[in-house]
Amino acid sequence: MSVLSGFLRKNWDYLSLAALITYATLSIKTFYRPGIPIGWDHPNYINQAWFTLRYLLPKGRLLGWDPLNQYGWPLNQFYYCGPHSYVALLAYGLLNLTDFYTIYKLALNIVYVSYAPSIYVYVRALTADRAGAVVAALLAVTVFPGESAWLDAGLRQIYEVGMWGQSMGIVLSFVALALMIRTVDLDLELKWFVACIWAAFFSSTTMVTHPMVFYSLAISIAVLITMRVLSLNARIFWRTVLDYTLIICFTLAFSAFWLIPMLKYNRMYHNLVWNIKWDVGKWAIIDILETFKPYGWLIIPLALLPIPIRVLVYTRAVKTGLKEKLGIVSLIMGFSIFAASLVTVNPSTTLLATPFLLAGYTVYKDECYHPLISSILLLWIGAGYESFRIGWVDLTRVIPFHEELAFGKCVALARYMLISLASIGFSRMSYILKKTCMKKSSRTASIMLYSILALILIGASLSSQLETTDIAYPVNGRIVFQLSIDYSLSAKVDELIDWIQ
């Protein structure tokens, strides 16, 4: 019995992660019925993945033209080389066991449930907080009723719109960030070199999977580098230069097969100047305020708690001098500006919070600044060129390509950064309540508060899944994720295709 309890105590987080993966898979079990998802982009994904499997993989390549020239688009040379290749490789190994449509739906399943382990390893690498990492995994796979099908890159976007390449890119980017965070703590040995190569591999796969997610990843990496430099530690500074120089070089090397042709031929065959601009403006902020509904009152305050809690604990334990007091003032200013931008729905002012938060970081070192500052910058950029005009300063004059990029895509990574923050906020609040439990005078109240907070979080996830997914099917007799078989017109089209064949 002691061996079992020791095993559970040592590995409870991994067991929880396995349970969450099962929980997420059960939420979409109706995907595996006959038929295909009917979202806008699914037919194109299926088409290109099949052509990649049929015509390119046998030749040992991922780029090229299919027999129909894909309506003028070179296959895999623009967007989604990663997703098409991923489905094709999966089919290459499994096509003898099942049909291509089932393999495609398995690919969607893997991408969705991968949010849990990817955000887990990011939070774990960032803070070494197992409880926070598990909570982050839970929130990452929860489909809140307020989740946007266009901006949030969650399950609704995977199913309804079919733009699951963005979701896959975010999963890969969190793994890349986790490895980059880990490298600075490793000695310059083989393990460090291998970690850098894997970080570069996941960064490059993010690029070929979804360029705008890679753009978001690059911003987040820049925040990480800035934090390392501001640590004012010579060893960390030089290791940062060495680590990221190596990672950047390998990233470019791994992605060169796709990047060079795309840059050379992009304007000839397809163009990053979108017909759909993804210029969302204030909706970048509105989306963050609505995405967690009806539990925004819980998630957003939790996301703003981690750093103030750490500062509160520090100031109570150590006598504060002028430097520490100035750090507190900087933090108050930064949080006030960010909160004001959320309340007033003004994306252009969110950027002003960044210098104050960085100043606070130089005094109160806390890795939680990374998801916080990253989310602020991503929301500011996600609002598009409307936010690039701050008063009399017009940054569009120095960003000549500001109209050519889908900045609205940056909102999704900001959302998951806030989920990471909320999970760490929950963990740190739980830690304070546990410490309070040691005092006999307030033990009962602390245990009750801790239990209530945990139950609210679990209840919020479960009630959301019951409303927005098929986790309760067939008990409730309702199917949320309907497929082509559920629509008579699709069945008639299939009959016509069979007749033609």
Q: What is the pLDDT of residue 446?
A: 66
Reply yes or no: is the peptide bond before residue 474 cis, omega within 30 of 0: yes
pLDDT surpassing 60 at residue 400: no
pLDDT of residue 415: 97
Mean pLDDT across 110-125: 98
When pLDDT is averaged across residues 222-240 and rounded to a whole number, the result is 88
Quick check: 66 pLDDT over 70? no
Residue range 439-466: mean pLDDT, rounded: 82
Distance CA 48, CA 79 (A): 11
| Mean pLDDT in residue range 27-37 | 94
The packing angle between helices 283-290 and 369-382, to 10°, is: 130
Nearest-angstrom CA–CA distance, 104 and 142: 22
Record the tokens describing residue 124, joined without a space.
């774990």
Residue 317 has pLDDT above 80, yes or no: no
Domain regions of the chain by residue span: 9-34+114-272+280-468
User: How many CA atoms within 13 Å lie on the side-chain side of 452?
Assistant: 8
What is the structure's pLDDT at 411? 94
Give the torsion sign (CA, 396, 398, 400, 402). Answer: negative
Residues 255 and 252: their CA atoms lie apart, in Å, by: 5
**Tens digits of per-residue pLDDT, 419-452?**
999 999 999 888 887 776 666 656 676 677 778 8
Mean pLDDT of 403-409: 75
Q: Does the pLDDT at position 248 exceed 70?
A: yes
Torsions phi, psi of 144, nearest 5? -70, 145
266 band by pLDDT with thresholds 50, 70 and 90: low
When pLDDT is averaged across residues 140-161 and rounded to a whole number, the result is 95
- Look at residue 64 in the predicted model and tell me its pLDDT: 73
- The pLDDT value recorded for residue 269 is 58
Q: What is the mean pLDDT of the segment spanning 278-290?
A: 86
- Mean pLDDT rounded to a whole number for the chain: 87
> What confidence score (pLDDT) does residue 497 get?
72
Q: Which of 254, 455, 255, 285 is nearest to 387 (CA)?
A: 285
Contact 215, 399 (CB under 8 A): no
pLDDT, residue 242, reads 93
Q: Per-residue pLDDT averaged across 225-236, rounded?
A: 86
Closest by Cα among 272, 407, 276, 425 to 347 = 407
Residue 170 has pLDDT above 70, yes or no: yes
Q: What percent of the chain has pLDDT over 70?
A: 89
What mean pLDDT is predicted for residues 223-247? 90
Q: What pLDDT score was predicted for residue 74?
A: 63
Residue 351 has pLDDT above 80, yes or no: yes
- Determine the distance from the C-alpha atom of residue 146 to the mean position of all C-alpha atoms in its chain, rounded to a whole number: 17
What percent of the chain has pLDDT above 90? 55
Would you state the pLDDT for residue 356? 93
Q: What is the pTM for the complete model shown?
A: 0.93
- DSSP-derived secondary structure for 160-219: II--HHHHHHHHHHHHHHHHHHHHTTS-SSHHHHHHHHHHHHHHHHHHHH-HHHHHHHHH
pLDDT score of 46 more than 90: yes
Is the pLDDT assigned to residue 176 strictly greater than 90?
yes
Q: Among 206-220, 368-382, 433-447, which is the least confidently predicted range?
A: 433-447
At residue 29, does pLDDT exceed 90?
yes
Q: What is the pLDDT of residue 449?
A: 79
Region of poorest pLDDT, from 48-52, 405-409, 418-422: 405-409
